[in-house]
Amino acid sequence: MHLQPRMLLALMGAGWISLYILVTLVLIALLVAIYRLRKGGAFAMARKRGTYSDAVYIGCWFVGSALLGDGLVFLVVYFATKQWSSTAVAELWSMGCLMTGGALGFLFGIPKSVQGQAPSVSSAGKTPGRAAYAQRVNTSLEEVSDWLTKLLLGVGLVQLRKVPELLQTYSTMMGADGWYLKNTQGFGIAVIVYFSILGFLGFYLMTRLYLQRALGEAATMGLDTAPVKANLSIEETIALKSAPIGFGSRDRELTGVATKAAKKLLTEVGMNELETAHDYALWGKAQLDEANYAETDADKAAAYKSAVAAYKQASRLAPSDIEIQQEYAVAMFLERSTQKTDFKGDQPFLVAVKDQLMKAYSSLCPNTSYELRENIYKSLTWIVLYVAPPAGYEEAIRIAEEYNQDPRHMPSGGIQVNLACGYGQKMKILKAEEKSLKERLASERDPAKKPPIQAAVERNTADQVQVRSSALKAIRDALSLDPTWKGTFVEVLIKSKGEKGDDDLIAFKEDNEFRTTLGLPLI
């Protein structure tokens, strides 16, 4: 059977269109995969630490730029020539230049390994008598990369004056002369330059931002011996490391795989067997979870005490680790909670916990993950609510508003709850001041002294209006994010005078707009 020329051209066209659609779909899928890197459970630990946040943005830029350039080349060449063969050649040259530049970028970006035969050091700071077993990284690729980069740089600098001529030659080889454009040679050179530079920058940056960090994290994970001794799977290790720890009851209960890993770790490994900072932190987190299932108060207190001891050692070994410092503060608070429930009378301890959290807060940086940033802000705004007013609620409001005003942050129901409670504490103080000012105004007999007092009353009234509006907005924002916060708000709103527990919103107890928002009967 012989194919007619028109049929053959139609089949070739359909084939090239299918190939182009396939390549485009693959690139789009890669773009989506890179975007979902921060969302996927498999990357939970890296996402929580904020390790690859910048690599995600660079990857999206790289894939998007490649798609844009590829689409432009396809459209320009096809509509200029009406030939699938010329279009295919242009597409292949584009991808070839992209990969050639990418190969160079990869060679230039390969990280260097620093290796030694230093003996292992125990947690007590002593060097054991026998050398510890250690694997050494194969650096052959690094040596080849170093040799090739030096060679390419040397040859490239010498032949730099020949670059324009080479570009013209390659443009001719590409077949740009047959594309029937007004400046075919210029367009061909533009394709070569664009995709070569894009490939170099994209692969170089991704090698530096992703590969180097991934290798470093793999090496760090290899140093953590507790998961290995407890025979934890990779899934269990990542689940336990990624589980957030906070002050609220809902923020310190591990679930699913993380709970299973915590129990296995405590069963198989004792505190005297821990070595690295992350070993201690992981073991301390497991103790915090163990306290949730303690049958007696004594068992709970013992679990919290062990957690504090572990986190204290982890904090000493890794003073710049934001997550460890935050979890250490939570452990400190929970240990004290077994001794007393009224923290407002223990201001020195509250200040100590706040100072511990400030270590984490002051270490926040652009690369800190959104989840960890939220946990730090939520913990800090919660603990300062117990600090004596007005310093406590003023700091809670300032830190919460700082979080809300940062466009990088995701909305947080927990922070909105703390913000509303901060405004509730402020309203309580304002109402007390209003009562005092009105009593002074009523008892004042000197007409000259009344205007300043009246002005103070008016300022107080204006402040109450602003605080009330801000508190109501914070409550509504929290409920829109998570309706289950309603129970917390109701609890701190309708608390009776003298009743145990927090009463941060009691100043709004008789405000019907607040009661309507929370579904309470009107007064």
Residue type, 435: K
H-type alpha helices, 82-183: 84-109, 140-158, 163-174
CB neighbourhood size of 513 (10 A): 11
Give this prediction's pTM: 0.61
Cα 445 from chain centre: 61
**Domains of the chain by range and CATH?**
5-112+141-223 (no CATH), 230-387 (1.25.40), 389-523 (no CATH)
Q: Which of 59, 103, 107 is nearest to 206 (CA)?
A: 59
* pLDDT in 10s for each residue of the chain, 523 residues: 444 444 544 545 555 555 556 556 665 666 565 555 444 433 444 444 444 566 777 778 788 888 888 788 778 777 777 777 777 777 777 888 888 888 777 777 776 654 444 444 443 443 343 333 344 444 555 566 666 666 666 655 556 566 667 666 766 666 665 666 666 667 777 787 888 888 888 888 877 777 766 665 555 544 567 888 888 888 888 888 888 888 876 666 788 888 999 999 999 999 999 988 889 999 999 999 999 888 898 999 999 999 999 999 999 998 888 999 999 999 999 898 887 666 667 788 898 999 999 999 998 887 788 888 998 999 999 999 999 999 999 999 999 999 999 988 889 999 999 999 999 999 999 999 999 999 999 998 888 889 999 999 999 999 999 999 999 999 999 999 999 999 999 999 987 656 667 889 999 999 999 999 999 999 8
CA distance 71 to 290: 56
Exposure of 234 by Cβ count < 10 A (0-12 exposed, 13-18 middle, 19+ buried)?
exposed
Token couple for 467: 């605080």
**351 to each of 293, 332, 363, 477, how far by Cα in Å?**
29, 12, 18, 29
The end-to-end CA distance of the chain, in Å, is 91
Closest CA to 15 of 85, 75, 66, 119: 85
Is the distance from CB of 462 to CB of 488 less than 8 angstroms?
no
Question: Residue 243 in contact with residue 256, Cβ under 8 Å?
Answer: no
Asked whether the beta carbons of 271 and 283 are under 8 A apart, the reply is: yes
**Number of Cα atoms under 13 Å in the Cβ half of residue 442:** 6
Token couple for 302: 């013992």
Sign of CA dihedral 271, 273, 277, 278: negative
CA dist 470 → 404, 417, 420, 473, 489 (Å):
13, 12, 7, 5, 15
Helix (H, G, I), strand (E, B) or coil at 101: helix
Give the contacts of 193 (CB within 8 A, at least 6 positions apart).
167
Residues 6+ apart with CB under 8 A from 171: 184, 185, 188, 189, 192
b/e 409-426 (16+ beta carbons within 10 angstroms → b): eeebbbbbbbbbbbbbbb
